[in-house]
A and B are shown apart, each in its own frame.
Chain A
Amino acid sequence: MAPAPRSTKTPLSQLAARRVIELPIPVSSTALVGALQAGRIEARKVLFDRYSDEIERLLYRVLGPDPEVSDLLQDVFVAALTSIHQLRDPQALSGWLRGIAVRKARKCILKRQRWRFIQLLPPSELPEAEAILPPAEVSEALRCTYAVLEQLPAEERVAFALRFIDGMELTQVAEACGVSLATIKRKLTRAQASFTKLAAQHAALAEWLDPKGEPS
């Protein structure tokens, strides 16, 4: 069959014969969730573009500058896209995504803690050790902060990072961790005490904290 002829001039009367319908994703969370639940592929990019900065930031706060962050970032969005139908309230999209990110980060921490517990090799020979330590160019304060956080239980580490490094309000921390306000306050109290005590062993951190070992 001969190729469709190309026309260089089009009478205005014929322009109406061509129809191009643009299908943008509106700004509201409701519209975006609707588009995602309807399976519109372009909505994925919109979701990522709107929320990836916040989610990546949250993962960094909890895990530190960790090579696994980019994998987890992808995991968070894959989980969100494959379970978007479970989101009943589109207005809660942002908090819902944060909850997924916190759960993924916590799972990553727990997996490493279990693995280290059963591993008998010294730390320098752990095959995955390089995935845990931050890159060489970061400051001592950053390195030591996460060295201390690694010694905290996962729940306390997450709560501490969200509250003191990300600066989240208590209610937001509680929502992201999926617990009550009272529970998160208890976890934070324990996390603060543990962090302050352990941080005293690191010169780079001790200078930040009160000489008596209590946060001022």
Chain B
Amino acid sequence: MSDLSHLGQEIAREQDALRAASGDRARVREQLAMLDLEPRVAATPARIRAAIAFAAAAALAMAAAVLLFARHEAPAPLALTVGNSAAPVHAGAWIEAGRQEPTWLQFSDGTRVDMAPEARARVVEIDADGAHLLIESGHARVQVVPRAGATWRLSVGPFMVRVTGTRFDVRWDPERDAFELDLERGHVEVSGCVFGRGHRLTAGQAVEASCKRGRLHVGQRGQAANDGEEAPRTAAAQAQAPQDESAGSAARAAEPQQAKDQVPRVRAAERARGTSRSGWRALATQGKYGPAFAAAEAAGFENECARADARELAMLADAARYARRPEQEAHALLSLRRRFGGTSRAALAAFALGRIEFDRNQSYEEAAEWFGTYLKEQPGGPLTREARGRLMEATFRSGDADGARDLARAYLREYPAGPHAEIARGLRSGKR
């Protein structure tokens, strides 16, 4: 073996030790699971046939997947059982209650979904924070145990219900295109079709909706549909709805014809909203930040920021940065800090804001403040060394040479060969 190969082997050994200690793979795995990638979904009947065909190789494949999963030390997903059976149930499973016999899904964090007779559901995904369930038809009663960071989603026909900690009943009749949700405790957000970008329900409210009929009705639990008020809808949802949404029988009699007329507009509007809402996200995850930013801007950048979760806000900030729109980047980052303060993403946003102030605005005092904020909120975080170096430099450039010298000494103690070491040595010796 040549000396180069010996050197290479030694380098490889050292790298593998670094890799093993980094935990990057577990983080990427988690992020990958959350990405909204373009699905390659076949038609439903074919999927069911394919699913049954795959069931023939169950034991060996599941054991291999579980072993590989365990080796990488990813956070363990919640365990799930169905009914009285102790056998674990995994993502991808179809569950059907008996004709006269109910069943239930029991998650290891205490969350429970009771399925009435003949109800059908599918477990789309399970992770440590929650699960994504699809209610194919029937009635389910959902009791989600509130936990920090819990994320639960129910796909119910064309609607999506997002839950953090709550108890509610949900029904879906695909033949009638009828969605009902009766919220006993907590709050949920329902989106899709007539709900537009999302409608928040609070405890005590009940909602009925139909995509085909363009109908949305929100009332109090226990009230008849006619007694409640129509929920305010987004402009897009209103554009789909029949002109007269009153609950009179004449209006109901006209619904089938109205529904036929409206279905193309409902679906087209929903597709348009879906494209503009999820389009920037898909583009951003593919690294096409310029088009992603354009799409987000077309949908209303500030509106998208107001609706985005922490991960999406970070993506919007990235898109704005690559599109060289520092004001929008700062807006996304500040939104992230305001709405998700205390999270690691909020801390990283502080670092990014420091870079904007330093690199673009030459506002060194503000930059120093942001880098200091990052260090306070995420001591020992992944950007600690960079933040300390930047803080030192920003402190110097803002006119505080003594403060910068102290920071330089501390920096060199920790990072004698770090990227800011040369600057630090200059500051320490007073030659800068």
Contact = CB atoms under 8 A, between A and B. Distances in A.
A154 interface: no
A38 to B, nearest CB: 5
A92 to B, nearest CB: 18
A56 interface: yes
A49 B47 CA distance: 24
Nearest to B65: A46
Nearest to A51: B68
B4 A209 contact: yes
B7 A18 contact: no
A65 interface: yes
Contact of B423 (A9, A26, A124): A124
B175 interface: no
Contact of A5 (B93, B96, B102): B102
A72 B223 CA distance: 54
Contact of A39 (B33, B40, B94, B140): B40
A216 B286 contact: no
A215 B47 contact: no
B52 interface: yes
Contacts of B57: 24, 26-27, 31
Contacts of B6: 208
Contact of B69 (A38, A49, A53): A49
Interface string A201-216: 0000100111000011
B114 interface: yes
Residue of A14, A17, A129, A133 most packed against chain B (CB within 10 A):
A17
B104 A6 contact: yes
B182 A21 contact: no
Interface string B46-69: 010011101101101110110011
B114 A39 contact: no
Contacts of B119: 4
A22 B90 contact: yes
Given A24-B55, A70-B28, A167-B12, A10 B101 contact: yes
B47 A38 contact: yes
A53 B11 CA distance: 17
A120 interface: no
Interface stretch (A94-102, A134-142, A171-179): A134-142
Given A22-B93, A38-B50, A1 B61 contact: no
Interface string A14-51: 10111111111111000100011111111011101110
Contact of B95 (A19, A48, A75): A19
Contact of A4 (B22, B61, B102): B102
A57 B18 CA distance: 11
A136 B5 contact: no
Contact of A210 (B3, B91, B103, B285): B3
A74 B28 contact: yes
Contact of A166 (B12, B22, B37): B12
B92 A50 contact: no
B302 interface: no
A26 B202 CA distance: 43
A216 B2 contact: yes
B303 interface: no
Interface residues of B, number: 100
A195 B3 CA distance: 12
A204 to B, nearest CB: 10
B399 interface: no
A93 interface: no
Contacts of B263: none
A18 B96 contact: yes
Interface string B373-416: 00000000010011001000000000000000000000000111
Contact of A10 (B31, B84, B90): B84
Contact of B139 (A4, A23, A195): A4
B7 A208 contact: yes
Interface string A90-131: 000000000000000000000000000000000011010110
B95 A53 contact: no
Contacts of A5: 102
Contact of A209 (B7, B116, B415): B7
Nearest to A69: B24
A37 B40 contact: yes
A77 B287 CA distance: 12
B29 interface: yes
A215 B5 CA distance: 9
Nearest to A85: B40
A74 B102 contact: no
22 contacts: A4-B104, A4-B114, A4-B116, A10-B84, A21-B51, A24-B55, A24-B65, A24-B90, A41-B125, A42-B125, A49-B72, A57-B19, A73-B25, A78-B37, A129-B419, A130-B385, A130-B419, A133-B419, A164-B7, A165-B8, A167-B8, A216-B2
List 3 tightest A-B contacts by C-beta distance, closest first: A17-B98, A23-B92, A39-B41
Interface of A: 1, 3-10, 14, 16-27, 31, 35-42, 44-46, 48-50, 52-53, 56-57, 60-61, 64-65, 67, 69-70, 73-75, 77-79, 81-82, 84-85, 124-125, 127, 129-130, 133, 135-136, 138-139, 141-143, 145, 164-167, 192, 195-196, 205, 208-210, 215-216
Given A39-B40, A141-B11, A167-B12, 16 more contacts: A5-B102, A9-B84, A20-B94, A23-B92, A24-B57, A38-B40, A44-B37, A45-B29, A49-B29, A61-B15, A70-B25, A74-B31, A74-B32, A127-B355, A129-B419, A133-B419
